[in-house]
């Protein structure tokens, strides 16, 4: 059978970042078909880097992918459990492609695969090429996992320890919520090397699906308890594969990912930004950038935006509302150079935010930076059929949808359908943005307001109403 037939029949599909599906759908044949198709759409390669997250299913999926690579005569650099950006960086340094086995933040019964060319993350056009490639998929025995190579881990640590001043975090007490993050054993090494006192909390041997855009109230409560009891200056964690950051301030309140990334962009003196449409409008209002380009949601779209910006600007970057920061150019400071890494990274924005703290606390810096407030959450196990019904009404008659959800407004509505439906309410300019998830059977809502409590209330009202009506 050909790879395009195997992939089509499997039920797995590409979402906002990588191919995702149920663990049961990632059979050895499907994993091999995806790997062989990935090899087929690029020039012949001799070496490929592979890494995994801490999901129970990830080693088996990696074994199948590696078996396909070896069948085609590729040497495999296997880096074991490391963050996705650590894999991408190591592959970039060696000018070789990479495959990351991760489902990021989605539940443990699902998983995924992310693909990287030597030049970086694949594009949406590349995803289509993989789906449509017609490569014969032979019966190949599943190999054992190779020995773990520490190169990617060591280079990722070196990347930040070499660039940031050795004492830039001195005097700060940072908590690290380890849970099952792929980078949980790497982050303490980086922070301690930069002078921080580090305390580790919440390590779990069971997979914990942390979604940085839909943080559970139990996690918020736990974070606040840890911060106050240990007197942390900040609490740091990530999603499952370590490409999306989550940082809590000294009061135990999590920063929105785009506000965290805004702090980082200013620290790095970025000139132009590519950001998805659901990011906070405080970014433009800050006046810190020569150009801000809005894109569809998903790292491939942000990367494409960064590429466009590089035609006119020297110092460019991108980030997402989920806390993933994409550095689109090399940046230098006092003859130290931080190489470009145009894929989501959780460590860079956090280090930039913490290194910038002097006489101010993190919460004080955020207050000075933020003019508008955002909140987001999701409905889980929400079928595509139900999502389609919501989006149909939102597109054709947004006023009726808001009426049914008991969301009051006056005057005309402003509609943006760049990705999902983003509705700006007249008056104070509150925003309600809804869209189906691109990675799982979920429905997401983002809201923005000049009032923090109102943004949170809007999300709750919209999602409760949608769940009840559709």
Locate 138 and state its tokens.
């032979």
Of the pLDDT bands very low, low, confident and very high (cuts 50, 70, 90), residue 438 is confident
pLDDT higher at 39 or 106: 39
In angstroms, the first-to-last Cα distance of the chain is 40
- Superfamily holding 3-149: Alpha-D-Glucose-1,6-Bisphosphate, subunit A, domain 3 (3.40.120.10)
Q: What is the mean pLDDT of the chain?
A: 95
Question: How does pLDDT run across 334-365, given as a tens digit for each residue?
Answer: 789 999 999 999 999 999 999 988 778 999 99
* Exposed / middle / buried, residue 134 (Cβ in 10 Å: 0-12, 13-18, 19+): exposed
**Distance of alpha carbon 233 from its chain centroid, rounded?**
24
Phi-psi region of 156 (alpha: psi -120 to 50; beta: other; left: phi over 0): alpha
Taking residues 215-231, report their average pLDDT: 96
Among 324, 317, 372, 375, which residue's Cα sits nearest to residue 345? 324
Q: Which residues contact 2 (CB under 8 A, 6 or more apart)?
A: 134, 135, 136, 137
- What is the architecture, at CATH level 2, of domain 154-369? 3-Layer(aba) Sandwich (3.40)
Task: Give the C-alpha distances (Å, rounded to integers) separating 373 from 127, 314, 430, 432, 457.
Answer: 34, 30, 10, 12, 12
Contact (CB, 8 A) for 35 and 68: yes
Q: Same fold for the domain at 154-369 and the one at 373-469?
A: no
Question: How does pLDDT run across 132-180, given as a tens digit for each residue?
Answer: 999 999 999 998 999 999 999 999 999 999 999 999 999 999 999 999 9
Quickly name the fold that domain 373-469 has. TATA-Binding Protein (3.30.310)
Burial pattern 351-360, b for ≥16 Cβ within 10 A else e, equals: bbbbbebeee
Q: State the catalytic residue, choosing from 58, 67, 104, 181.
A: 104
Among 39, 107, 52, 54, which residue's Cα sits nearest to residue 80? 52
Of the pLDDT bands very low, low, confident and very high (cuts 50, 70, 90), residue 440 is confident
Give the pLDDT of residue 35.
98
Q: Where are the domains of the chain?
A: 3-149, 154-369, 373-469
Neighbours of 284 (CB within 10 A): 15
Give the pLDDT of residue 456.
95
Phi/psi for 376 (5° steps) reads -150, 155
Q: Is 104 designated active site?
A: yes
């Amino acid at each position: 059978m050909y790879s395009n037939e195997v992939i089509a029949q499997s039920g797995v599909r590409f979402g906002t970042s990588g191919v995702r599906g149920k663990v049961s759908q990632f059979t050895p044949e499907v994993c091999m078909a995806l790997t062989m198709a990935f090899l087929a759409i690029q020039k012949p390669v001799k070496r490929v880097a592979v890494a995994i997250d801490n999901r129970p299913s990830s080693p088996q999926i990696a074994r199948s992918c590696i078996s396909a690579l070896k069948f085609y005569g590729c040497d495999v650099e296997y880096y074991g459990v490391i963050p996705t950006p650590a894999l991408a960086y190591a592959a970039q340094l060696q000018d070789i492609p990479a495959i990351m086995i991760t489902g990021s933040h989605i539940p443990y019964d699902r998983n995924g695969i992310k693909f990287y060319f030597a030049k970086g993350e694949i594009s949406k056009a590349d995803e289509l090429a993989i789906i449509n490639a017609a490569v014969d998929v032979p019966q190949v025995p599943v190999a054992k996992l190779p020995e773990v190579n520490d190169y990617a881990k060591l280079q990722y640590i070196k990347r930040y320890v070499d660039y940031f001043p050795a004492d830039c975090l001195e005097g700060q007490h940072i908590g690290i919520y380890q849970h099952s993050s792929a980078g949980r054993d790497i982050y303490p090494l980086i922070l301690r090397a930069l002078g921080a006192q580090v305390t580790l909390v919440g390590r779990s041997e069971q997979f914990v699906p942390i979604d940085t855009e839909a943080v559970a109230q139990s996690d918020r409560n736990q974070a606040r308890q840890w911060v106050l009891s240990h007197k942390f200056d900040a609490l740091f964690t990530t999603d499952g594969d370590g490409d999306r950051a989550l940082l809590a301030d000294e009061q135990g309140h999590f920063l929105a990912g785009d506000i965290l990334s805004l702090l980082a962009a200013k620290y790095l003196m970025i000139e132009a930004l590519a950001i998805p449409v659901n990011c906070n409008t405080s970014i433009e209002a800050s006046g810190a950038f020569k150009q801000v380009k809005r894109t569809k949601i998903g790292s491939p779209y942000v990367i494409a935006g960064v590429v466009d910006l590089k035609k006119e600007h020297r110092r460019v970057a991108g980030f997402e509302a989920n806390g993933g920061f994409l550095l689109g150019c090399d940046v230098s400071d006092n003859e130290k150079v931080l190489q470009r890494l145009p894929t989501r990274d959780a460590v860079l924005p956090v280090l930039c935010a913490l290194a910038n703290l002097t006489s101010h606390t993190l919460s004080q810096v955020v207050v000075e930076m933020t003019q508008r407030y955002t909140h987001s959450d999701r409905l889980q196990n929400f079928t595509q059929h139900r999502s389609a019904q919501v989006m149909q009404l939102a597109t054709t008659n947004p006023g009726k949808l808001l009426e049914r959800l008991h969301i009051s407004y006056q005057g005309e509505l402003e509609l943006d359908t760049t990705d999902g439906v983003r509705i700006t309410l007249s008056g104070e300019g509150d925003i309600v943005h809804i869209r189906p998830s691109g990675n799982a059977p979920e429905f997401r809502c983002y809201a923005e307001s000049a009032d923090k409590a109102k943004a949170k209330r809007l999300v709750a009202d919209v999602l409760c109403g949608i769940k009840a009506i559709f």
